[in-house]
Structure 1
Amino acid sequence: MNKRIFSWAALALASTTFLSACGGGGGGGGGGVSSDGSAAAAAAAAQQAPSAVAGYTAVSSTVSGGLGYPFGSHQTAYVAGVKPTSATQAAQDAVIRTQYDKWKAAGVRAACGGSVVSFNSSYVTVSEGAGYGMLLSVVMAGYDGQARDLFDGLFRVVRSHPAYNTGYPALMDWRVNNDCTGAGDGWNAMDGDLDIAMALLMADKQWGSSGTVNYKAEALATIAALKAYNMTSDGFTKGLPNAANNRTSDYMITHFKAFRRATGDTFWDQATDKAFYLLNLMQTKFAPNTGLVPDFVINTGTNPTPSPGFVGDGNAMEGFYYWNACRLPWRLASDYVTSGDDRSRVVTAKLVDFFQSSSGGDPSRMQSGYRLDGTSLQNYPDPAFVGPATAGAMVDARFQPFLNSLWTFSAANLAQGYYGTELQLLSLIVATGNWWNP
């Protein structure tokens, strides 16, 4: 995998194409106009000199003949939260290595001129899977001697399938057919591109950007495209069918903060604030007894409410804590343990309080989805729900016994299929102290 990847960075950063059509793939934004009406301005913002941000010291970007952050080195201690104490650090790291090997053997294959995280029998991959795979491979470098080849192979497929209908080639067509043709009608899924951008920033810290791929330039191109196409001018994420609706699992606080550090653009502070505003509103107004949040929110800039259904993913369950929102405890815990931002702790603690009380502290009694009043939707503990809850329980020492039970249960019930495996493994990487931010 030494073939040089064509850099879309200059093309993406110079793009001035504006579209009024809605995006696709469960997360594409409506309208390609940036926050100030100019893609060029978005690009310029993305290239500003980084500035210091309180709360987290990034890993050094100087990489010379080695790795910036090899797996298992734990060189940047978490600044907040607790970790499982029911197993030694060595035992926890061993679980991660074993599960990563299983994930890679079962879920990753060569295809489409690079590497893909297999999706299903109809589609070879989706941008969401590419993002997960890039995050996993960059974190596991140092254990996996082929991690960089895998990362570059995944990225090759990302860039060879641009979301052409957005006008921004640094965004990925959200799904790919088995014959490697685009299957997402040229639209992007915001969550996939958010993870891809974050993974590229991490790759710059892990390997440096002087090799085959200029990871930093590619990250800045994707960040600029995300701001221009997937964000509103006042900092809300966009969803479907218009910019006033969005998906709570796209509120990736760690990513927004990393984009802020990488670009110096204070817009991403605004995005962080708007995400917390909506999360707090959903919990306090619509789920005061449970703290649960819905998959989708509508009317974000005027009168935000949970989706009535058939707005984003096209099903009746969008107003519930379901297969999208289940990722939030992992995403928010990732922020809290590395930044100490109490807003992440408050939101996550409400969720974990509900999980603990409703299950009696027994992870095997957790459910896979809930209405906002706490009524269960599916009576089994899927790893896509239990895994993120494991990371979530790190945010407060009062959850220590529950965290230990969640870790033990997850380690004994490791997932094998798409989605559940990725969410569980990424969540356990956070829980074991192996996550780091660029």
Structure 2
Amino acid sequence: MQRRFFLKSGSASAVALALAACGGGGGGGGGGADSSAGATGSSLATGASTTRNAASGPNSYPFGSRLDAYVAGVLPTSASKDQMDAAVRSSYDAWKAHGLVDVPTVSGGKALRFGTSGDYLTVSEGMGYAMLITVLMAGHDPQARNLFDGLLKTVRARPAYSIPAGNGGQYLMDWRLTIDGSSTDAAGGGWNAMDGDLDIAMALLMADRQWGSTGTWNYRQEGINTINALKSWNMKPDGTTKGMSTANVSRTSDYMISHFRAFKRATGDSLWDLAVDRAYWLVNYMQNTYSPNCGLMPDFIVQTDTSTPIPSPGYMGDFVATEGYYYANAQRNPWRYATDYVTSGDSRWADVCTKLVNFIQRDTNGNPAIISAGYHLDGAAMDRSYSPEGMIGPMLCGAMVNGQFQTFLNSLWNWNAGNFTTDYYDSELQLLPMIVASGNWWNP
């Protein structure tokens, strides 16, 4: 169970809400690149050009086109590009058929279903995943834009109403909706979850590149509106993400580095440069101070207002005991960090991932199926009773940062392609990393 706590109008008071998530859900919200590429292994180039394609219009970046070459990292060599594309298309089709549903209370609205039973239809985290996936799969799915617009319609119909308009609440999403798609005080309470809104903002910028912004929605402006709201509500002036029960709690899986860079390009706001640097400092400090032999990082960091932040002792972020472990939130980090490395070449994130993947490869002897569902920061496994798709999927990207992991990377690709699930959270944490590992990620 994951619990999310949110600040009321920036104060220290909080509202507690519980989220039972398949594989762990993660919650909450609100908070100078080295261009060395230096990796070895399979070809770094995955497209025709290293220059970001600036064209906009109908499917300007169709799935499989690989218009932007990755500038660093390695790709799986156990499957050809065509084979990887086929695996992604098949996985997407299964994901779409299982997960995308109509919203009863939003005419024309779509949602990514949170589960097959229970009181809740969706969460903003899932809406962000779905928007990223659909914009990336345009060119394979002729309905991608219609689906994206249906998701966006739901996002904007369900704003974070407890956040003042002066802080951009109308451009952030209520983090959890009831089974009929309504917002209620007993469900999301009108508070946002930073991870969901970060992905929503990124997907909107990508939609502008993919389809342009002259149709029903001005995607670019909607994205900038959400970026500015995130800055107002979820960020400190020094670039630290903030939120949950106090402003000095920061979740490591909110460090979406390639998003931050895209936000800087879209707005010109130097805060997002600070966010990149601050995220690296915090993660590097956690690895070197609290997990020097394993390179792990906790779900949550606390005391971020000091020079000596610490892993959460528990009950300060999602309000569970496991917040100081590499677990249901931090498991996303190799996907987020490595995605930035292969597209930016910022070697700091290769270093972060190399420390982590070295340990995981050593811990499993290169067998993805026995990765633990979580780890204490000293490397002690938490649960090996099953193969956790949501943990194994993001590790696929982590292994892309260095050619020394080529064999492990191939095993990770083969395992994910052969063991794809449609269960919420695990499914998205396989599909999005598979898109990245196949060379099909791109930035706006």
TM-score (norm 2): 0.87
Distance 2:378 2:10 in 1: 39
Distance 1:140 1:22 in 2: 41
1:25-424 mapped onto 2 (5 Å cutoff): 26-29=27-30, 57-60=51-54, 62-64=55-57, 66-111=58-103, 112-113=105-106, 114-120=109-115, 121-167=118-164, 168-182=169-183, 183-302=187-306, 303-379=308-384, 380-424=386-430
CA contact (8 A) 1:231 1:237 kept: yes
1:57 is displaced (CA, Å) by 4.0
Distance 1:269 1:139 in 2: 25
- Code of the residue aligned with 1:381 in structure 2: it is S
- Code of the residue aligned with 2:181 in structure 1: it is C
Long gaps (5+) in structure 2: 1-7, 18-26, 37-49
CA contact (8 A) 1:204 1:216 kept: yes
What secondary structure, in the 3-state scheme, does the structure 1 residue paired with 2:110 have?
strand
What value does the CA root-mean-square deviation take over the aligned residues? 1.7
1:20 is displaced (CA, Å) by 2.8
Map Cα deviations across residues 97-143 of structure 1 (whole Å, 9 max, x no partner). 00000000001111132000001322100000000000000000000
CA contact (8 A) 2:375 2:381 kept: yes
CA contact (8 A) 2:53 2:68 kept: yes
CA contact (8 A) 1:59 1:437 kept: no
CA contact (8 A) 2:9 2:162 kept: no
Match of 1:437 in 2: 443
Distance 2:220 2:35 in 1: 22
- Code of the residue aligned with 1:162 in structure 2: it is P
Q: Which moved more, 1:234-243 or 1:138-147?
A: 234-243
- Code of the residue aligned with 1:332 in structure 2: it is Y
Query: Is the alpha carbon distance of 1:225 and 1:408 closer, same or farther for their aligned partners in structure 2, counting shifts above 3 Å?
Result: same
CA contact (8 A) 1:124 1:180 kept: yes
Distance 2:347 2:30 in 1: 29
What secondary structure, in the 3-state scheme, does the structure 2 residue paired with 1:124 have?
strand
- Code of the residue aligned with 1:335 in structure 2: it is D
1:381 is displaced (CA, Å) by 2.4
1:54 is displaced (CA, Å) by 7.9
Distance 2:341 2:412 in 1: 18
Map Cα deviations across residues 50-88 of structure 1 (whole Å, 9 max, x no partner). xxx98974331x324x32200000111110000000011
- Code of the residue aligned with 1:250 in structure 2: it is D
Distance 1:421 1:351 in 2: 22
1:28 is displaced (CA, Å) by 3.2
Distance 2:65 2:309 in 1: 43
What secondary structure, in the 3-state scheme, does the structure 1 residue paired with 2:101 have?
strand
Identity of aligned residues (%): 55
Aligned length: 398
Determine if the alignment matches structure 1 residue 426 to structure 2 residue 432. Answer: yes
Map Cα deviations across residues 372-416 of structure 1 (whole Å, 9 max, x no partner). 011111113211111100111000011001100111111111112
Distance 2:294 2:317 in 1: 23
1:250 is displaced (CA, Å) by 0.3
Map Cα deviations across residues 192-244 of structure 1 (whole Å, 9 max, x no partner). 00000000000000000000000000000000000000001211001221110
1:165 is displaced (CA, Å) by 1.1
CA contact (8 A) 1:22 1:29 kept: no
Distance 1:283 1:234 in 2: 21
